[in-house]
Structure 1
Amino acid sequence: MEPLSTQVNSAAEKQSILLTLNDYLQGRPVLDIERMRAAFHPGAIIRTTIDGKLRQWALPEYLDLVATLTVQECQPEVVSYSWDGDTGSAVVQITFATFRFIDRFNLMKLDGKWVIVDKVSYRQEL
């Protein structure tokens, strides 16, 4: 059985990671750029493939791109997450009417806060 202190720390880490993921998942659907920015490390890199080619953006470029989009109804969801020490990973998805983004994040705990340090994304047509 885990000691109570480990269980408390585990619950606190889960809450902290979920706060970061929710900044992204609640900010992205309504294009709340500042809420999204809060989820990421300033040096984060975002990657995806378009027409079979790697595309990548530094965080400021990515947020500028998102800011040009139109708000669409969607369903954000945390699929899974895990961590060891100060590193973690998560899979989230945002499902729109005709497609979904499946995002894989690497996270790090820096200065007591979990942040997304990189994102790879896949667009799945429905």
Structure 2
Amino acid sequence: METIANKIEIEAEKQSILLPINDYLEGRPVKDIERLRRAFHPDAYIRMVVDGKLAQWTVPQYLEAVEKAALQECQPEILSYTWDGDTASAHVQLTFSTFRFIDRFNLVKLDGKWLLMDKISYRQVL
């Protein structure tokens, strides 16, 4: 039987998981580098296929690329997320005027804090 305390704990965990996801979704469109840095584990990797080859960046490399990117309006959206214990995954997208990034994240909970551990991304031309 699910108790009120259980429901409160589950809701608190959901909100904790959403913190780094929202830091990414809200920080990326406005190039808020500190907010993005806060969302990612320092050892995280960002990966995507570019011209048929795997490209990957460390967090500092990724943040440098974001900093250099043109500022564009976009629509962020959480498509889904789930978790088991101290691991989670999320499926999100950022829709710009001519393309969309569809991202899948793996998250870990360390010292009571959820962090994005890795990101794989697909760039879809609209």
Q: Does TM-score exceed 0.5, indicating one fold?
A: yes
Question: Separation in 1 of the partners of 2:21 and 2:70?
Answer: 21
Could you state the TM-score of these two structures normalised by the residue count of structure 1?
A: 0.97
1:105 alignment counterpart? 105
Give the percent of matched residue pairs that are identical in Structure 1 and Structure 2.
Answer: 65
**Paired residue secondary structure (2:73):** coil
Question: Separation in 1 of the partners of 2:79 and 2:39?
Answer: 17
2:40 alignment counterpart? 40
* Structure 1: unaligned runs, 5 residues or longer: none
Aligned amino acid, residue 75 of structure 2? Q
CA RMSD of aligned residues (A): 0.8
Deviations 1:66-123 (A, max 9, x none): 1101110110011100001110000010000111000000001111111000000000
Aligned amino acid, residue 113 of structure 1? K
Question: Separation in 1 of the partners of 2:119 and 2:3?
Answer: 34
In the alignment, structure 1 residue 61 sits paired with structure 2 residue 69: no
**Paired residue secondary structure (1:30):** coil
**Paired residue secondary structure (2:29):** helix
**Paired residue secondary structure (1:31):** coil
1:51 alignment counterpart? 51
Shift of 1:37: 0.6
- Stretches of 4+ moved more than 4 A in 1? none
Shift of 1:18: 1.2
Shift of 1:5: 2.3
Aligned residues: 126
**Paired residue secondary structure (1:29):** coil
1:84 alignment counterpart? 84
**Paired residue secondary structure (2:122):** strand
* Structure 2: unaligned runs, 5 residues or longer: none
Aligned amino acid, residue 123 of structure 1? R
2:14 alignment counterpart? 14
Could you state the TM-score of these two structures normalised by the residue count of structure 2?
A: 0.97
